[in-house]
């Protein structure tokens, strides 16, 4: 999997991005997803075009992505001025969407989305402008839950490392 990073403004996050994508992919990308997704483009700009499910949405607020199965090229757009934590959260959220698409648990048309539950597709109208409906879409819930869980894992391992470092200091 190739990772290409374009940054037009803000803090240099090249390493953070590469580490996060590698780590998240190892957690949630299936073999199929790894085979399909050949290149991930990360674009960081001050005011990204906001597109969620091909329409404007206030929800994620600052990102959008495109997905192209045929070429296996995906672009994720993230606001460059976010804090590191928010940035990682948004990236993890979007990567979960990529996994959903690659595994065909989520199919997206221009008016409808199909979400696979227990082996069957459930149809959702995505034309509606309601923010609440957007929040309730199961693929959004899953991406949000994953991002939150991922940040907790990171936080936990960071604290463990700090505790270990403190212990090492003590024993010196
Ligand atoms: Zn989302």
Strand partners, 52: 55
27 to 1, 8, 23, 62, 149: CA distances (angstroms): 15, 29, 6, 24, 12
Q: How far is the CA of 59 from the centre of ligand 1 (A)?
A: 8
Strand partners, 4: 41
Q: How far is the CA of 40 from the centre of ligand 1 (A)?
A: 17
Q: How far is the CA of 161 from the centre of ligand 1 (A)?
A: 31
pLDDT at 88: 93
Number of H helices, E strands in the chain: 5, 7
Name the pLDDT band for 57 (thresholds 50, 70, 90): very low
- What mean pLDDT comes out for the span 123-147? 87
Global pTM reads 0.85
Domain chopping of the chain, boundaries: 2-171
Of the given ranges (3-7, 126-130, 161-165), which has the lowest mean pLDDT?
126-130
For the chain, the helix, strand and coil percentages under 3-state DSSP, each to the nearest 5: 45, 25, 30
CB-hemisphere CA count at 13 Å for 67? 23
- Say if CB 134 and CB 140 are below 8 A apart: yes
Residue 121: closest CA among 129, 113, 111: 113
Residue 73: closest CA among 102, 115, 113, 114: 102
Secondary structure (3-state) at 149:
helix
Q: How far is the CA of 106 from the centre of ligand 1 (A)?
A: 12
Compute the mean pLDDT over every residue in the chain, rounded to the nearest whole number: 84
CA distance 29 to 95: 9
CATH match of 2-171 with 3.40.390: yes
């Amino acid at each position: 999997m190739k990772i290409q990073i374009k940054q037009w403004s803000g803090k240099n996050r090249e390493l953070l991005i590469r580490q996060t994508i590698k780590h998240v992919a190892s957690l949630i990308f299936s073999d199929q997803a790894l085979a399909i997704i050949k290149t991930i483009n990360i674009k960081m700009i001050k005011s990204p075009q906001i597109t969620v499910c091909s329409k404007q949405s206030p929800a994620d607020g600052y990102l959008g992505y495109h997905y192209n199965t045929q070429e296996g090229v995906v672009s994720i757009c993230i606001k460059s001025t976010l804090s590191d934590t928010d940035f990682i959260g948004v990236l993890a959220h979007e990567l979960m969407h990529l996994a959903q698409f690659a595994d065909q648990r989520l199919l997206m048309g221009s008016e409808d989305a199909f979400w696979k539950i227990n082996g069957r597709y459930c149809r959702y109208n995505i034309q509606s402008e309601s923010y609440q409906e957007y929040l309730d879409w199961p693929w959004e819930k899953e991406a949000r839950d994953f991002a939150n869980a991922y940040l907790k894992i990171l936080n936990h391992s960071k604290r463990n490392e700090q505790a270990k470092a403190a212990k090492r200091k003590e024993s010196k």
